[in-house]
Structure 1
Amino acid sequence: MKSNYIFITLIIFILSSCKNQEKENFKNEEIRSPNVLFILADDFGLKDMSFVGSSYYETPNIDRLASRSMVFNQGYAGSRVCSPSRATIMTGKFTARHGITNWIGEKSGEDWRSMKRHDKLLPAEYVHSLPKKDITIAEALQNNGYTTFFAGKWHLGDEGSYPEDHGFEYNIGGWDKGSPMGGYFSPFGNPKLKDKVNGENLSIRLSKETNDFISTYRDSTFFAFLSFYAVHGPIETTQEKWNKYREKAVSQNIADQGFKMEKKLPIRITQDNPVYAGLVETMDEAIGMVLDKLDELGLDDNTIIIFTSDNGGVSSADSFSTSNLPFRGGKGYHWEGGIKEPFMIYVPGHTNKGKKSEYPVTGADFYPTILDYANIELMPNQHKDGISLKGLINENSNMPERSLFWHYPHYGNQGGDPSSVIRKGNWKLIHYYEENTNELYNLIEDPFEKQNLATSKPELAESLSKELMNWLIKVDARFPEIDKNFNADNRAMYDNKIRKELLINLEKERLELLDLNYEPSQDWWGSKITKD
């Protein structure tokens, strides 16, 4: 009898141990840190996607990701231009706090006079590389067991401040340049990206490199940052895609007018550029390649996917590529077209697939959100301006009202003026440094910023302006200064030349791009060359 009792007790113990082990395994599986794929487009506007309403561009893979993600309709970049916005993603800080307030390499102070634009102010100085004192999101994840990978555009400092100097174990194509120096077809002219096949497409190549990394480290926990050079100028595509979108533009009836004058520069008001459309489609195809690889490897159920852009679409200067209408402005501008972005987060298993959120969010929020999902303790002393969106995504939790800040004490190449911005609740105030004036908009009632309420609501404008300035002073922001050499007559001559010559030339070039005989080069930027 005693031996039977011992035997039964032993069986019960074994079964109980197995059950407890199963619970422990389930628990470990439940808290397993997810992989993270961060996809960052360059100069890609909110209205450049078909699911948002573009009838010209085709983005089926971005649309597919959006259908699985929470889409933030009030999603903002950290800045109106690239380097500051990218630094905000990496640090979780607004631009005035981390100090990179302009694209790295642009002139400032008295050197600005060499641009011969005859502006009233001398732009502020700014930080020229990602500060070493900051712990980047890559470093935070690497310190917690993630394998980290970067592919594509960096533009956050010269040698010594490359991706591998800020937490990325692998770097393919990231260096100090902000545009594809060799264009979008190999040879790329990039010391961090080895040429393989002449004519290879840059966006496709970056996705292939990302897929190779994912395949290699599929059994580890990884952070892959795919940072496209697309759709930054110079805009290029294949003859086949140009032909497709030229025919599409014709079928949609080519508008008589493609540009109008903004305050200082012409701005594009139509989406009918077939070269840009082809560039957009190729980037979308490259995104589809990575999404398909995750599905193929069975990693989609444990990989968070983020997609956003670093600033608004280029509607003025550069390649005058796209229109952000009905949003006002574009890259380089302080209005919504310059800072409102594609902003979507896919979290495996969440119940809010395809749901739209109207809560205002910013590039600074990615850092704490990623940490939160990775089960890593938040670092509020680092990501000082970002908050975790996990509760909102998973549970539709109520989020606190907060103030968002933008600081750009520079002149944009696209026509924007030195200004700072605060958004609080439904209200957005823009402060201009040239004339020390404000604009005030109710973004719920007037999302396209047509009615300036600064005069009719002076108390609110004053309150927001005061909060903005107090915050800027608190974080030691730098400000532009009056140029004592400013000459109003020289400026008037400069403006007159732009109105008389540039606007006319842009309309001419627009029609040339749509002409049947258009051919930029014999091999369409090398895209027809497939071997040495």
Structure 2
Amino acid sequence: MRYRWSALFCCVAGLLSVFAPPAKAADPKRPPNIVMIISDDQHWGDYGFMGHSTVKTPNLDRLASRSLTFKRGYVPSSLCCPSLATMITGLYPHQHLVTSNDPPMPAKMKKNDPAYQETFQAGREVMNKHLEAVQTLPVMLKNEGYLSLQTGKWWQGNFTRGGFTHGMTKGSRHGDEGLDIGRKTMEPIYNFIAEAKKADKPFMVWYAPMMPHDPHTPPEEILAKYKDKTPSLHQAKYWAMVEWFDQTCGQLVDHIDKQGLGENTIIVYLSDNGWIQNLDNPRYAPKSKQSQYDGGTRTPIMVRWSGRIQPKMSDDLAMSIDIMPTLLAALGKKPTAQMQGLNLLDDAAVKARKTITGECFTHNSQDLNKPEASLRWRWVIDGHLKLILPAKQNEQGGPELYDLAADPHETKNLADSDPRTVERLTKTLDAWWPGKV
């Protein structure tokens, strides 16, 4: 019943917002607030605006229509922890050294052995220190007088270690109390925004709920919409999770706008990695999460800044490494020398870039200080051609070459029939990062 009342409230609130007076014009001298919305395990096509015929995402569709939206966005790595670390540093995993979800663990050591936890925590501490050794967005914003809030997924210890001034995660593996956001409450974000407004401070919000990530436990009234749309209950639950997550995004964006903050708040949206639902069990299917394919690495990327950014649907390539340079440019700041991304608001630079690169690593690191030891694949997209190269230290097989325009789900390997392109793009990857042990 509480979900029905919540849905009714959101509907009425949405109608009222249409007739609400417009927000005051943004002060051009005041730094913009920043809100990062990060989906957790969602396929790039599982949105209404991306053409999905079943799943409903009205709030994200509306956000996309009001944003500079890159339909061909990518994360370099299809695994949660390194992907999130890239978003908050603007660096590739091989640069910030957080390549995997977990540290190396002795194969014969049992989880209930006290030595296991001691080894595990020691490894995580190394990973935490790697992130502390580079500039994060909250650290750079703190220097500009910002308050910042962490909610949802966060792997690198207590929220303060990422430079956040406020937060929910105390320091367990990937979120602890932070994982309540979205699934149980949105109040910590609303309270933080109220505190920032009262202090007259610019703010940043990191909204990275464990949604639609499993466990797929959507409200029953949302699940009921999808049960007759597929013979797989697992698929229905995942689709319902996507819609539930969409509802929370709508609540957050609506709250910002109703507080009169819409015109001075940059909202960034993307997913940490992809997901293809296994129809026979709750887990993910091949060619999605943890894989080298678009099902794991592709995501729409949106940037909304009302009155400052012209809404547009773009087919240009974008990456999560571009977020930091984009936000820094909005503050009149330059990216660090290590950052290889672009300012997504620089249309000429974005259109001039035809090639992007990425890297996928083992779930558990093989060596916390040597990223190449954990490398599984490197990949490059040049226009619509995509080359995937396995790393011999962890993977077998040969190169894979796909024409994403004709074959978006990467089913026809063209490597044997086009060796010249394989050779050309291999040189591109080697010039970027050889990845050799």
Give the alignment's TM-score, normalised by structure 2.
0.79
Specify whether residues 169 and 294 from structure 1 end up closer, same or farther in structure 2 by C-alpha distance, changes over 3 A only.
Answer: same
Counterpart of 2:169 in structure 1 is: 173
* Structure 1 residues 139-181: Cα deviation after superposition (integer angstroms, max 9, x where no partner): 11111111111111102x3xxx3321121000123643337xx
Q: Which of 305, 309, 333 matches 2:271? A: 309
Counterpart of 1:347 in structure 2 is: 305
Question: Per-residue deviation at 1:315?
Answer: 3.0
Specify whether residues 60 and 175 from structure 1 end up closer, same or farther in structure 2 by C-alpha distance, changes over 3 A only.
Answer: farther
SS of alignment partner, residue 28 of structure 2: helix
Q: Which moved more, 1:72-81 or 1:52-61?
A: 52-61
SS of alignment partner, residue 267 of structure 2: strand
Specify whether residues 426 and 55 from structure 1 end up closer, same or farther in structure 2 by C-alpha distance, changes over 3 A only.
Answer: closer
Alignment of 1:235-274 (within 5 A): 235-246=216-227, 250=228, 252=229, 254=230, 273-274=235-236
Counterpart of 2:430 in structure 1 is: 469
Question: Per-residue deviation at 1:317?
Answer: 10
Counterpart of 2:325 in structure 1 is: 368
SS of alignment partner, residue 257 of structure 2: helix
2:275–2:289: 8 Å Cα contact kept in structure 1?
Answer: yes
Question: Per-residue deviation at 1:380?
Answer: 2.7
| Inter-partner Cα distance in structure 2 for 1:92 and 1:411 | 21
1:45–1:342: 8 Å Cα contact kept in structure 2?
Answer: no
Counterpart of 1:300 in structure 2 is: 262
Counterpart of 1:62 in structure 2 is: 60
| Inter-partner Cα distance in structure 2 for 1:346 and 1:191 | 29
| Inter-partner Cα distance in structure 2 for 1:55 and 1:322 | 20
Counterpart of 2:143 in structure 1 is: 143
1:404 aligns with 2:360: no
| Inter-partner Cα distance in structure 2 for 1:445 and 1:60 | 29
| Inter-partner Cα distance in structure 1 for 2:378 and 2:108 | 20
Question: Per-residue deviation at 1:191?
Answer: 5.0
1:424 aligns with 2:382: yes
Alignment of 1:85-100 (within 5 A): 85-100=83-98
* Structure 1 residues 212-234: Cα deviation after superposition (integer angstroms, max 9, x where no partner): 21122123211111111112211
Question: Per-residue deviation at 1:405?
Answer: 2.4
Alignment of 1:321-400 (within 5 A): 329-350=287-308, 352-353=310-311, 355-375=312-332, 377-382=333-338, 384-392=339-347, 399-400=351-352
Which amino acid in 2 is paired with 1:240?
A: E
SS of alignment partner, residue 306 of structure 2: coil
SS of alignment partner, residue 31 of structure 2: coil
1:446 aligns with 2:407: yes
Question: Per-residue deviation at 1:440?
Answer: 1.2
State the number of aligned residues: 385
SS of alignment partner, residue 342 of structure 1: strand
1:234 aligns with 2:215: yes
Question: Per-residue deviation at 1:316?
Answer: 5.0
| Inter-partner Cα distance in structure 2 for 1:409 and 1:461 | 21
Specify whether residues 449 and 409 from structure 1 end up closer, same or farther in structure 2 by C-alpha distance, changes over 3 A only.
Answer: same
Which amino acid in 2 is paired with 1:176?
A: S
Question: Per-residue deviation at 1:291?
Answer: 1.1
Which amino acid in 2 is paired with 1:346?
A: R
Specify whether residues 455 and 42 from structure 1 end up closer, same or farther in structure 2 by C-alpha distance, changes over 3 A only.
Answer: same
Give the alignment's TM-score, normalised by structure 1.
0.66
Which amino acid in 2 is paired with 1:407?
A: E
Question: Per-residue deviation at 1:276?
Answer: 2.3
| Inter-partner Cα distance in structure 2 for 1:443 and 1:112 | 42
| Inter-partner Cα distance in structure 2 for 1:314 and 1:164 | 34
Which amino acid in 2 is paired with 1:385?
A: Q
| Inter-partner Cα distance in structure 2 for 1:317 and 1:134 | 41
Counterpart of 1:76 in structure 2 is: 74
SS of alignment partner, residue 316 of structure 2: coil
1:409–1:478: 8 Å Cα contact kept in structure 2?
Answer: no
1:203 aligns with 2:164: no
Which amino acid in 2 is paired with 1:231?
A: P
Which amino acid in 2 is paired with 1:352?
A: Q
1:148–1:169: 8 Å Cα contact kept in structure 2?
Answer: yes
1:61–1:288: 8 Å Cα contact kept in structure 2?
Answer: yes
1:152–1:206: 8 Å Cα contact kept in structure 2?
Answer: no
Question: Per-residue deviation at 1:453?
Answer: 1.9
Which amino acid in 1 is paired with 2:137?
A: I
1:40–1:308: 8 Å Cα contact kept in structure 2?
Answer: yes
Question: Per-residue deviation at 1:321?
Answer: 5.8
2:100–2:363: 8 Å Cα contact kept in structure 1?
Answer: no
Which amino acid in 2 is paired with 1:243?
A: A
Question: Per-residue deviation at 1:235?
Answer: 1.4
Counterpart of 1:22 in structure 2 is: none
| Inter-partner Cα distance in structure 1 for 2:419 and 2:146 | 51
| Inter-partner Cα distance in structure 1 for 2:134 and 2:298 | 26
SS of alignment partner, residue 54 of structure 2: coil
**Unmatched 5+ residue regions in structure 1?**
1-27, 116-124, 180-189, 194-200, 259-270, 480-532
1:164 aligns with 2:160: yes
**Unmatched 5+ residue regions in structure 2?**
1-25, 112-122, 365-374
2:291–2:360: 8 Å Cα contact kept in structure 1?
Answer: no
Which amino acid in 1 is paired with 2:335?
A: M
| Inter-partner Cα distance in structure 2 for 1:135 and 1:163 | 15
1:287 aligns with 2:249: yes
SS of alignment partner, residue 418 of structure 1: strand
Question: Per-residue deviation at 1:192?
Answer: 5.8
Question: Per-residue deviation at 1:348?
Answer: 1.7
1:80–1:333: 8 Å Cα contact kept in structure 2?
Answer: yes
| Inter-partner Cα distance in structure 1 for 2:92 and 2:108 | 24
